[in-house]
Amino acid sequence: MPRYEFGGFVVDTDTIEVVGPDGTRDVEPQVFDVLRYLVEHAERLVTKEELLDNVWGDRFVSE
């Protein structure tokens, strides 16, 4: 799996880590999934509905 680098941060999809200037950051699995989806599609606008469909899937989400 790839590693994504942006703004001094690295998102490593193999180790499920976010590494920044101050070291490794612990993030919740759902947060990591959202971040990964956004960096994988950084070339375009990602809609709320797209995030809900692709990250949350069939799970119920309320606002």
**Does residue 61 have a pLDDT over 80?**
no
Residue 58 confidence class, pLDDT cut points 50, 70, 90: confident
Query: What per-residue confidence (pLDDT) applies to 34?
Result: 96
Output the average pLDDT for the chain: 90
CATH number of 3-56: 1.10.10.10
Alpha-helical (H) ranges within 1-63 are 29-40, 48-51
Q: Where are the domains of the chain?
A: 3-56
Tally DSSP H helices, then E strands, for the chain: 2, 4
Share of the chain above pLDDT 90, in %: 71
